Amino acid sequence: MKKVVSVEEAEASEQATEVKTIKDDADRDLSVALPALESAVKKVREIDVKDFYELKVVQKPSPSIVKMFEVVSYMLKLTKPPKNKDEKSKEADPDGFFIQAKKELLVDPKGFLRSLIEYDKDNIHDSLVQKVKPLMDDEKLTEKAINSASKALVPVRIWVQAMITYSEVLKIVNPKRAIAAEMTAKLEVVMKNLNEKRAKVKEIDDKLAKLTSEQKALEKKSNDLNEDIEECGKRLIRAEKMINGLAGEKDRWTATVAELTIQAELVIGDSLVASGAISYSGAFTSQYREDLEATWRKAMKELGIKFT
């Protein structure tokens, strides 16, 4: 099981590295467009709305202004304006894009700026990019031309260019993101299975550790018992030696007890003879003392008193 888990861990690590490489690659590509985009949005935020109010009163816009608002109309997906029928302004704005800008955008400059700032940059359709990108190459829309026509529209031009660049980068990044997302999903399944197996391995390791601990405890108990058995054996040997050493004393003690038992039976008679001799025989001759003791022994014998 551990071997299988190790192999799968290596495979998962390799997949994770591959996913990270793809993500890093996508982030690296995106990092090319994001600074320009953030800079463009910042410039749009810094536009003075008063400049837009001034644009609103322009009667005869320059080609650059008209062209810029044509691009903005496409970017914001405004309804295509009707052809300009006003004789005074149709030469400068034949397609009516500036008239549309005055009615729908410049009437609310703050709202116009907000629509640029909050623009859904992640969902710009390819067809829109293909339509707008060639227009941005028009000499009327160079930064110099726009700056000469209206300084307020310079940030707008930068914003359009940044949106196009960002969209083109996304065309490269999004497939990478999709691949990374798909691989991440597969990796999550692999990691889930791997974690389940890791849990099983841990469970086995825990059981093995417990059994090992119990084995060590039993081995210690066995060693303790063996030591006790060995000590008991030594004590038995010492006890046997002691018993064997006392075995010879048993016969002597038995003989002594037998002898003392016999002597105990003679104590009374011997004591009578001895006490009589001490009390009465001292003043007499030895022959008389012997005769006196013989008389006492005869009397004790008749009375059943034992003596030596």
Q: What is the DSSP string of 155-190?
A: HHHHHHHHHHHHHHHHHHHHHHHHHHHHHHHHHHHH
The amino acid sitting at 183 is: M
CA dist., res. 213 & res. 205, Å (int): 12
Q: Which helix (H) or strand (E) holds 74?
A: helix 63-75
Residue 247 has pLDDT above 70, yes or no: no
For the entire predicted model, the pTM comes to: 0.55
Residue 301 has pLDDT above 90, yes or no: no
CA dist., res. 79 & res. 64, Å (int): 21
Residue 157 has pLDDT above 80, yes or no: yes
Residue 8 has pLDDT above 70, yes or no: no
CA dist., res. 148 & res. 66, Å (int): 13
Which range has the top average pLDDT, 21-35, 101-115, 243-257?
101-115
Question: Quick one: pLDDT at residue 111?
Answer: 92
Question: Quick one: pLDDT at residue 4?
Answer: 60
When pLDDT is averaged across residues 75-87 and rounded to a whole number, the result is: 89
When pLDDT is averaged across residues 142-165 and rounded to a whole number, the result is: 90
Question: Quick one: pLDDT at residue 248?
Answer: 67
pLDDT tens digits, 10-58: 666 676 677 677 667 666 766 666 676 677 778 778 877 787 888 888 8
Question: Quick one: pLDDT at residue 22?
Answer: 65
Please tell me which residue, 187 or 154, carries the higher pLDDT value. 154
Distances (CA, A) of 87 to 100, 102, 139, 259: 16, 18, 26, 168
Tokens at 86, concatenated: 């006003």
> What sign has the CA pseudo-torsion 249, 254, 257, 259?
negative
Q: Where in the chain do CATH 1.20.920.60 domains reside?
A: 2-189
CA dist., res. 156 & res. 160, Å (int): 6
Residue 5 has pLDDT above 60, yes or no: no
The lowest-confidence range among 36-45, 106-115, 212-221, 291-300 is: 36-45
Query: What is the helix, strand, coil percentage profile of the chain, to 5?
Result: 80, 0, 20
Residue 188 has pLDDT above 70, yes or no: yes
CA dist., res. 256 & res. 291, Å (int): 33
Instruction: Give Cβ neighbours of residue 79 (< 8 Å, ≥ 6 apart).
Output: none
At 281, give phi and psi (nearest 5°).
-95, -5
Give CATH for domain 2-189. 1.20.920.60
Residue 205 has pLDDT above 70, yes or no: yes
Question: Quick one: pLDDT at residue 11?
Answer: 67
| 142 — pLDDT class (breaks 50, 70, 90) | very high
Residue 246 has pLDDT above 70, yes or no: no
| 304 — pLDDT class (breaks 50, 70, 90) | confident
Tokens at 223, concatenated: 């060693």
When pLDDT is averaged across residues 282-295 and rounded to a whole number, the result is: 81
